[in-house]
């Protein structure tokens, strides 16, 4: 019944856009002061770009070249606690220095980013989650007037969907449907923004 790991979502919008996932980037983490050789405990946090409020965070522990993540995925009435270990690998750069990578726990490829998708809470690479870029899914028009009218219509839709979503307390069928629409609208808005 559309529980954790369900493919219903994927069937609905065909493919999940990268933009609707939480992204964990090794380069961001290194810039943030991660030292793979040091044992430490930290939190990785995501904030909403609309409200600035934190909407997800995961606990992280680094230990002997491995990162351990602990987090909770909530879906409908129940929550699932996940713990996964990600290996780090380094390669040497042409001009000296090292570059760090995650090893995707599913396909074991070396990747710079791992994702948590709306309906698959496991940390995996883009290929394993079968993610696409929203820009690859939507065709856009060059007509300026059309673009502006479309942008206004989308902003209105976005505001309406946000209000409706806020009123849904649990992940019901209706909330899933609304959320699907919300992600589509959100990605279309981003797309228009990126064409400026
Ligand atoms: Zn993978």
Q: Determine the distance separating the centroid of ligand 1 and the alpha carbon of 98, expressed in angstroms.
A: 22
What interhelical angle do 144-167 and 173-194 show, nearest 10?
150
In the prediction, which pLDDT does 159 show? 85
DSSP summary character for residue 136: G
Helix (H) or strand (E) holding 150: helix 144-167
Domain membership of residue 1 (yes or no) is no
In the prediction, which pLDDT does 25 show? 92
Separation CA 92–CA 69 (nearest Å): 26
Q: Determine the distance separating the centroid of ligand 1 and the alpha carbon of 95, expressed in angstroms.
A: 28
CA distances for 136 relative to 12, 118, 133, 167, 188, angstroms: 17, 19, 5, 32, 11
132, 154, 184 — which closes off a domain?
132
Same domain, 88 and 146: no
Domain membership of residue 104 (yes or no) is yes
Q: Determine the distance separating the centroid of ligand 1 and the alpha carbon of 111, expressed in angstroms.
A: 8
Same domain, 32 and 91: yes
Q: Determine the distance separating the centroid of ligand 1 and the alpha carbon of 114, expressed in angstroms.
A: 8
Q: Determine the distance separating the centroid of ligand 1 and the alpha carbon of 85, expressed in angstroms.
A: 14
In the prediction, which pLDDT does 50 show? 64
Same domain, 49 and 63: yes
132, 156, 184 — which closes off a domain?
132
132, 167, 183 — which closes off a domain?
132
Same domain, 22 and 98: yes
In the prediction, which pLDDT does 128 show? 95
Domain count, the chain: 2
Same domain, 144 and 117: no
Low-confidence ranges of the chain (pLDDT < 50): 1-13, 141-142, 195-196
Same domain, 124 and 160: no
User: Which pTM does this prediction carry?
Assistant: 0.61
Q: Where are the alpha helices (DSSP H) in the chain?
A: 8-13, 26-31, 126-129, 144-167, 173-194
Query: Are the CB atoms for 61 and 38 separated by under 8 Å?
Result: no
Domain membership of residue 126 (yes or no) is yes
Same domain, 118 and 163: no
Same domain, 89 and 37: yes
Domain membership of residue 75 (yes or no) is yes
Same domain, 179 and 144: yes
Task: Record the tokens describing residue 109, joined without a space.
Answer: 């490829």
Separation CA 68–CA 153 (nearest Å): 43
Q: Determine the distance separating the centroid of ligand 1 and the alpha carbon of 142, expressed in angstroms.
A: 36
Same domain, 43 and 128: yes
In the prediction, which pLDDT does 19 show? 80
Domain with 17, as residue range(s), is 8-132
In the prediction, which pLDDT does 158 show? 85
Domain membership of residue 149 (yes or no) is yes
Same domain, 112 and 146: no
In the prediction, which pLDDT does 5 show? 45
Domain membership of residue 106 (yes or no) is yes
């Amino acid at each position: 019944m559309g529980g954790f790991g369900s493919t219903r979502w994927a069937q609905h919008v065909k493919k999940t856009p990268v933009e609707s996932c939480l992204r964990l980037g090794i380069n961001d983490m290194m810039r943030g002061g991660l030292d793979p050789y040091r044992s430490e405990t930290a939190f990785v946090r995501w904030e909403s770009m609309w409200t600035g409020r934190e909407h997800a965070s995961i606990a992280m522990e680094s230990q002997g070249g491995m990162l351990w993540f602990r987090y909770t995925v909530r879906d409908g009435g129940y929550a699932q606690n996940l713990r996964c270990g990600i290996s780090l690998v380094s390669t040497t750069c042409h001009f000296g220095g090292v570059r760090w990578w995650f090893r995707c726990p599913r396909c074991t490829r070396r990747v710079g980013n791992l994702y948590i998708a709306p309906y698959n809470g496991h940390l995996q690479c883009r290929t394993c989650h079968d993610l696409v870029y929203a820009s690859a899914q939507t065709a856009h028009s060059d007509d300026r007037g059309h673009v502006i009218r479309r942008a206004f219509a989308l902003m209105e839709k976005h505001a309406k969907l946000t209000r409706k979503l806020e009123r849904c307390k649990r992940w019901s069928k209706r909330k899933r449907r609304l959320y699907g629409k919300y992600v589509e609208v959100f990605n279309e808005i981003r797309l228009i923004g990126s064409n400026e």
